[in-house]
A = this chain, B = another copy of it.
Amino acid sequence: MKDASTTTGFLREAVARFVRKREWEQFHSPKNLSMSVSIEAAELMEIFQWMDVGEARSLSSKPEMRRRIEEEIADIAIYVLSLCNTLNIDLSSCITRKIDKNRKRYPVKKCKGKWL
Checking B18, B30, B70, B106 against A60 with a beta-carbon cut-off of 8 angstroms, the contacting residue is B30
A73 in contact with B69 (CB, 8 Å): no
Q: A9-B1, A94-B74 are in contact. Are A50 and B80 (CB under 8 A)?
A: no
Give chain A's interface residue range (CB within 8 Å of chain B).
35 or more
Secondary structure at the A interface, as helix, strand, loop or mixed, is helix
A86-110 Cβ-contact flags toward B at 8 Å (1 or 0): 0101111111111100110010100
A95–B91 Cα distance when bound, in Å, is 15
Q: Chain A interface (Cβ within 8 Å of chain B)?
A: 1-9, 11-12, 14-15, 18, 21-24, 26-27, 29-32, 34-39, 41-54, 56-57, 60-61, 66, 69-71, 73-78, 80-81, 83-84, 87, 89-99, 102-103, 106, 108, 111-113, 115-116
